[in-house]
Amino acid sequence: MSEGNNNLSAWFLLLFAVISGLVIPAIGRTENATDRIRSAVVKIKNISQRPSYDSPWEDNDFSGGRGTGVIITGNRILTSAHVVSDSKYIEIEKENSGTPYRGVVAYIAHDCDLAIIELLDPSFFEDTTVLSFNDQIPELGSLVLVYGFPSGGRRISVTRGVVSRIDYTLYSHSARDYHLILQIDAAINPGNSGGPVLQDGEIVGIAFQAVQPSENVGHVIPITVIEHFLDDIKDGRYDGYPDLGIVTSNLLNPAYRDYVNLPEGRTGVVASALVDDHSAIGIIQPGDIILSIAGNPIGNDGTILIDGESYQLEEVVERKQAGDEVVFDIIRGGEEISCRVPLRKNKELLKTWKEYEEQPEYFLLGGLLFQPLSLEYLKTWMGDWWSRSDPRLLYYFKYYNQDKLCREMPEVILLSRVLAARVNQYYSDLHDLVIKDVNGVRILSLSDLVSAFENHTGPYHVIKFDGDFPPCVLNVEDVKKENQRILERYRVNRDRYIKK
Amino acid sequence: MKEQVKQKVDLTPILTPIFLVLGVFLMAGSVLGGGALDQVENGPVRIHVNYQENNYSSPWKQKKAGSRSGYGCVLSSRRILTTADIVKDSTMIKLEKPGGKKFYPGRIEVIDYDVDLAVVSVEDESFFDGLTPVEIDQRIRIDQPVKFMVMENSNKIRAIPGEIVKISVENYFLVPDTYLTYGAAVNFEDRGGGWSEPVFSNGKLIGITMSYSGKKQYATIIPASIISRFLAADLSGGYIGFSHHGFVGAGVRDPVFREYLHLPPDSGGVYISSIYPDSSADGVLKEGDVLLSVDGFKIDVDGYYKNPDWGSVDCRDLFSRLHSPGEEIEVEIFRGGEKLKKKIKLSRLDRSDYLIPPYSNGEPLEYLIVGGLIFQELTADYLKEWGENWQTKANKKFLYFYTYHAHRPEPERRRMVILNKILPDRINLGYQGKADLVLAEVNGRPISVIGDVKEALNHPEGGFHRFTFEEFDQELILPVASLPEADRRIGEQYGVDGE
């Protein structure tokens, strides 16, 4: 009896663990490490700063990280998003040069851990080369070379590895999505991140994460994911992956197949639930048997065949962009029909993934700090947040879609804590309570909350919480009088940040 | 012979770290009993218990058997008083007199998990020869010196001195609910074998030890007044238990909150923020009421009443300790700007009143295995199967309901019936690995208690059983025709019994 949650912790993000002073001898030139390749691989240094989700008006301390990048066409450097996320300052260096160039993030895709860096000074590219992509996924068992600057180091390191598995894995940088990866048996070390993985001199992937408990297992972002990213940014903006939002049940069970009257010789899966606000809702219906996706017949286990390899049916969507369409053949009420599902990026209101480059939303009034529930917020619980946070918060977080809590509370707004002041002296210990209503207004979003306070005319602010808690009542005039003083005392420069 | 270590676990507040009290290894029989019969009068008797608990993770099994020891006191009704945590889940109870040398079989006559008390009877009347029943004294004051009576391994009775330092309403040992307790400063450094030491003052029983912290050198005592009410609640018609206030409340110290409620400046009270369904308070009190007085006692802004002997005490004491279920008490409330007098008919908060029962009642666990799908009702004991840190490790949905809604059954969902796990077999191919889901319907019939599953299985839909779960409305389908054969196969394979 254990819970299959928190697989996040099983992953180890490479970049931030670079230990200065640890010298790893650079590997000498190998047969394949031609000058051409070496002059396309660059070292990246990033100074980053993350906002504080605990005191959302502040930033945390600076931190530094290093990684690798590869020059691709158009004077661009491709790397992993985590190498350059939350960046304040980026330096790019060529091997052996010692001259740093200033880089800027042109595109960053946290869900697939990829980014494009551009340089302010194009002269950087004068003595560099460009590597091209191999658009085939390498075969299992084939050899690849990993180029990079593990543990910093001035000179390039090349490691040889074998493609040992091609599978779906959580991309731990954002922990938002599962995408395809290549697993290789070469160790990927801190600093390798963002470096190219080559076969026959062409890029077949970008090294990006390691599996912590196992030794010598590295994960590589495959070409399909890279191409999806490059295709997505063609319009000058990264939109991200569309989500189907179909929860499927396999049809491996013969009785289940009989029950849904799956015709003899046909295979497929049952759409058991549709996630609110995702692409397929309203088009696919619960109980539909999905026979094929984009012409690919679906097995009873939910897999399809692409180029002779078996993939989960979502792989079709993995290779499409928002705005594309996917055609499904389904059986509904005994009739076989086709459905077109226009793919779109859903707006997910509960952020269950790691966020970067984002300013945390909050509202502070009378010392009461209100914030939306999110993964980043839960992580402010010290130590192992998954164990320690309040059970109500964890339930809302994990069962938001499963138990359709999203319908009641599209955004879960919390009284996260109280900055103690005279006006709130009887409430200064409150924390992590879910807001139900404010001044009689049901709260469905942070902006609802702000207007419920600001449009209120009575003498008291009355805040009601989800659960058996008594309300919190503040005197409106006292709040007005003391609010500015509280902001000053706690050095809060703005009383709110609310995204448009 | 080694006694198993008994861990006393502080159950409340529900999510604070577990706090352990000493484990004691008793070397019984290693030293022969020595006289000391001058102290037999009022002295404790020893209770040895063999116990075995249900296995909630694999409900057709039992957990490994264990044993524990504690003390009991002889009552004038020629029965033995002890704590419920000593005798719960017992398979055998043996009593031993001071001086030892012989065991007398006993059996539980009355047990109340709420107040952690039990009465054990002894068939062999000769047990009582030479034993004098205790006299119970409900009077107590802070600073009163008391004696914790223990029996050394030599079976010699010894009195460990302590002092009452606190009289307050606190959480009890087995159930996350509060009743009156005494707190005593005492050092059990030389604690003998066992638990639940009787506590005496001036030769009279003033309480029984409920828990002890070696670190704090502090014992929590079940007071004589709770014991007396417990003994009085055992009527000829059956045990009626303790009444429960049935609401969640908060003090009204904040002047702004008082203004908002229009409370008179001099009044205290308890703001009622929630009411348990079918409880004493249900139908009389309403959310938003302020409870001003209970049974003639004024409630102050922190929710305390003035006890004539002990000073401020939590007003919940007035509901549980001074009246029995069935009795009426008068309360004064403040509602909509007016003071109102109301009568509350007190009732017990029974195990059946919980959505998620916090304790087992020693009865076999009800479960149902159909096509390898194991169904049972969610209980605190099931959550505890996640191990030592169950309060943080268990399924998050279950923990949420246990923490915040355990008292809140609904008419359509009196218990949470869950899919524990699936025993793999070809009949459940494709479903394996599903676990810890809440069962909403079987064959389209809503499920409120485990018994509903069995009933719903009498109404298959076109040769199939359909199980619908709350999470994402997932469905599992089993074929009716091949079920008997599969259940037989699963029974043999896993050694399970279907019900």
DSSP codes joined into one string, A97-124:
T---EEEEEEEEETTTTEEEEEES-GGG
Within 8 A by CB and 6+ apart from B480, the residues are: B460, B463, B464, B465
Any CB–CB contact under 8 A between A253 and chain B? Answer: yes
A476 CB within 8 Å of a chain B CB: no
Least confident of A459-473, B41-55, B428-442: B41-55
**What pLDDT score does A441 carry?**
97
Alpha-carbon Rg of chain A, whole angstroms? 26
DSSP state of B356: S
Identify each DSSP E strand in A120-201 by its residue range. Answer: 143-148, 157-170, 178-184, 196-199
Interval B309-338 mean pLDDT: 95
- Complex prediction ipTM: 0.89
Interface-testing mutation among B466, B477, B485, with chain A (most A C-beta atoms within 10 A): B477
Q: How far is A474 from chain B (nearest CA, A)?
A: 6
Beta carbons of A189 and A14 less than 8 angstroms apart: yes
Question: What local confidence, expressed as pLDDT, does residue A228 receive?
Answer: 96
Residue B403: enclosing H or E segment and its boundaries?
A: helix B396-405
pLDDT exceeds cutoff 70 at A12: no
Contact A249 B474 (CB under 8 A): yes
Indicate if the pLDDT at residue B178 is higher than 80.
Answer: yes
Q: Compare B93 and A151 and report the one with higher pLDDT.
A: B93
* A462/B271 touch (CB, cutoff 8 Å), yes or no: no
B451-454 CB contacts, 8 Å cutoff, 24+ apart = B451/B366, B452/B417, B453/B368, B453/B370, B453/B375, B453/B417, B454/B368, B454/B499
Please state, as a whole number, how many other Cβ atoms lie within 10 Å of the Cβ of residue B194.
24
Residues of A in contact with B436 (CB under 8 A): 1, 3
Q: Which residue of B has its CA nearest to A463?
A: B257
CA distance A340 to chain B (A): 23
Burial class for A494, CB neighbours closer than 10 Å (0-12, 13-18, 19+): exposed
Cα(A225)–Cα(A181) distance, rounded to whole angstroms? 9
Helix (H, G, I), strand (E, B) or coil at B335: strand
Q: Is A178 helix (H, G, I), strand (E, B) or coil?
A: strand
E-strand ranges in B367-411 read 367-370, 373-377
For B286, other C-beta atoms within 10 Å of its C-beta total 14
Length of chain A: 500
Query: Which residue in chain A has the smallest CA separation from B470?
Result: A403
What is the pLDDT averaged over residues A454-466?
A: 97
**A contacts of B247 (beta carbons < 8 Å):** none
Which of A1, A399, A468 faces B273 most closely, judged by CB atoms? A468
Quick check: B375 and B434 in contact, CB under 8 A? no
- Residues in B touching A258 (Cβ below 8 Å): 463-464, 479
Amino acid A196 reads P
A403 to chain B: closest CA residue:
B471
Environment class of A344 (CB within 10 Å of its CB; exposed 0-12, middle 13-18, buried 19+): middle
Instruction: Report the 10 Å Cβ neighbour count for B29.
Output: 12
Percent of chain A with pLDDT over 70: 93
Does A6 contact chain B (CB < 8 Å)?
no
Please tell me the distance from the alpha carbon of residue B486 to that of residue B370, in angstroms, as a whole number: 9
Name the residue among B254, B274, B404 with its Cβ closest to that of A392. Answer: B404
B187 C-beta neighbours (distance < 10 Å), count: 15
Cβ count within 10 A of residue A497 = 17
Q: B13: cis peptide before it, omega within 30°?
A: yes
A481 touches chain B (CB under 8 A): no
Q: Which long-range contacts (CB under 8 A, 24 or more apart) does A478-483 make?
A: A478/A366, A478/A422, A478/A423, A478/B256, A479/A365, A479/A366, A479/A423, A481/A423, A482/A366, A482/A367, A482/A421, A482/A422, A482/A423, A483/A365, A483/A366
CA distance B287 to A497: 35
- Cα separations in angstroms, B161 against B98, B127, B139, B148, B149: 20, 28, 18, 6, 9
Q: Which of B253, B389, B476 sits opposite A426 (nearest CB)?
A: B253
A437 touching B (Cβ < 8 Å): no
pLDDT at residue B9 greater than cutoff 80: no
- Chain A: closest CA distance from residue B383 (Å): 10
Residue B37 predicted with pLDDT over 70: no
Query: Would you state the structure tokens that stand for residue B21, as one six-digit string?
Result: 């009290």
In this model, does residue B229 exceed pLDDT 70? yes
The 10 Å Cβ neighbour count of residue B386 is 19
For residues A427 and A24, give the distance between their C-alpha atoms in angstroms, rounded to a whole number: 55
Give pTM, 2 decimals: 0.89
Cα–Cα distance, B174 to B299 (Å, whole number): 28
Chain A neighbors of B427, CB-CB under 8 A: 255
Q: Is the per-residue pLDDT at A364 higher than 60? A: yes
pLDDT at position A308 = 86
Contacts of B314 (CB under 8 A, 6+ apart): B168, B169, B178, B303, B304
Q: How far apart are CA B204 and CA B200, in angstroms?
A: 5
Residue A43 class from Cβ within 10 Å (0-12 exposed, 13-18 middle, 19+ buried)? buried
- Is A394 in Cβ contact with B400 (below 8 Å)? yes
Q: What are phi and psi of B40, to 5 degrees?
A: -60, -35
Give chain B positions within 8 Å (CB) of A6: none
Q: With contacts defined as CB-CB under 8 Å, which chain B residues touch A267?
A: none
Name the minimum distance, in Å, from the CA of A253 to any CA of chain B.
Answer: 5
Interchain CB contact of A258 with B (< 8 Å): yes
Q: Which residue of B lies nearest to A393 if distances are taken between CA atoms?
A: B400
B424: closest CA of chain A, how far (Å)? 12
DSSP A458-477: SSEEEEEESSSPPPEEEEHH
Cβ <8 Å between A247 and B472: yes
Cβ pair A272:B385 closer than 8 A: no
Answer yes or no: is pLDDT of A17 > 50: no
Q: Where does the pLDDT of residue B151 fall: very low under 50, low under 70, confident under 90, or very high at 90 and above?
A: confident
In this predicted structure, which of A138-152, A225-239, B297-311, B386-400 has the lowest mean pLDDT? A138-152
Predicted local distance difference test score (pLDDT) of residue A186:
86
Residues 179-238 of A with CB under 8 A from B: none
Chain B residues whose CB is inside 8 A of the A389 CB are none
Give the angle B412-B416-B422 at the CA atoms, nearest 5°. 130
The alpha carbon of residue B30 and the mean position of all alpha carbons in its chain are separated, in whole angstroms, by: 35
The answer to whether the CB atoms of A1 and B386 lie below 8 A apart is: yes
Distance CA B249, CA B270 (A): 6
Q: What is the pLDDT of residue A2?
A: 37
| Total CB pairs under 8 A between chain A and B | 122
The percent helix, strand, coil of chain B (3-state, each to 5) is 15, 40, 45
* Contact criterion met (CB below 8 Å) for A226 and A133: yes
d(CA B418, CA A175) in angstroms, rounded, equals 29
Q: What pLDDT is recorded for position B18?
A: 31
Taking the C-alpha atoms of A348, A351, A357 and A361 in order, what is their torsion angle to the nearest 10 degrees?
100
Please give, rounded to a whole number of angstroms, the shortest distance from the CA of A469 to a CA of chain B: 6
Task: Inform me whether the C-beta atom of residue A286 falls under 8 Å from chain B C-beta atoms.
Answer: yes
Any idea what the Cα angle at residue B29 is, between residues B25 and B34, rounded to 5°? Answer: 115
Tell me how many degrees the CA angle B360-B365-B370 measures, rounded to the nearest 5.
150
Helix residue ranges per DSSP H, A373-473: 375-378, 385-388, 391-399, 405-408, 446-454
Compute the nearest-CA separation of A470 from chain B (Å): 5
Mean pLDDT, chain B, as a whole number? 88
Give the pLDDT band of residue B23 (cuts 50, 70, 90).
Answer: very low
pLDDT, position A97: 82
Residue A255: exposure state from Cβ atoms within 10 A (0-12, 13-18, ≥19): buried
Residue-level length of chain B: 499
Q: What is the enclosing helix (H) or strand (E) of A330?
A: strand A325-332
Kindly report the average pLDDT of chain A as a whole number. 90
- The Cα–Cα gap between A341 and B13 comes to 50
- Flag whether pLDDT at B1 surpasses 50: no
- The nearest CA of chain B is from the CA of A273 a distance in Å of 6
- The residue type at B327: E
**DSSP designation for B404:** H
Average pLDDT over residues B434-449: 97
pLDDT of residue A467: 94
Pick from B248, B396, B430: CB nearest A398:
B396
A75 — alpha (psi -120 to 50), left (phi > 0) or beta? left
Residues of B in contact with A434 (CB under 8 A): none
Q: Quick one: average pLDDT of B28-43?
A: 38
Q: Is A26 a residue whose pLDDT tops 80? A: no
Could you tell me if A133 lies within 8 Å of chain B, comparing CB atoms? no
Per-residue pLDDT for B315 more than 90? yes
Chain B, nearest residue to A255 by Cα = B479
**B471 → chain A, closest CA residue:** A402
Average pLDDT over residues A337-364: 94
Inspect the interface and report whether the beta carbons of A473 and B256 lie closer than 8 Å. yes
Check residue A164 and give its pLDDT. 94
Contact assignment for A259 to B466 by CB distance below 8 Å: yes
Name every chain B residue with its beta carbon within 8 A of the beta carbon of A252: 429-430
What pLDDT digit, counting tens, does each position of A187-209 carry? 788 889 999 999 999 999 999 99
Q: Which of A334-348, B4-18, B333-347, B389-403 has the lowest mean pLDDT?
A: B4-18
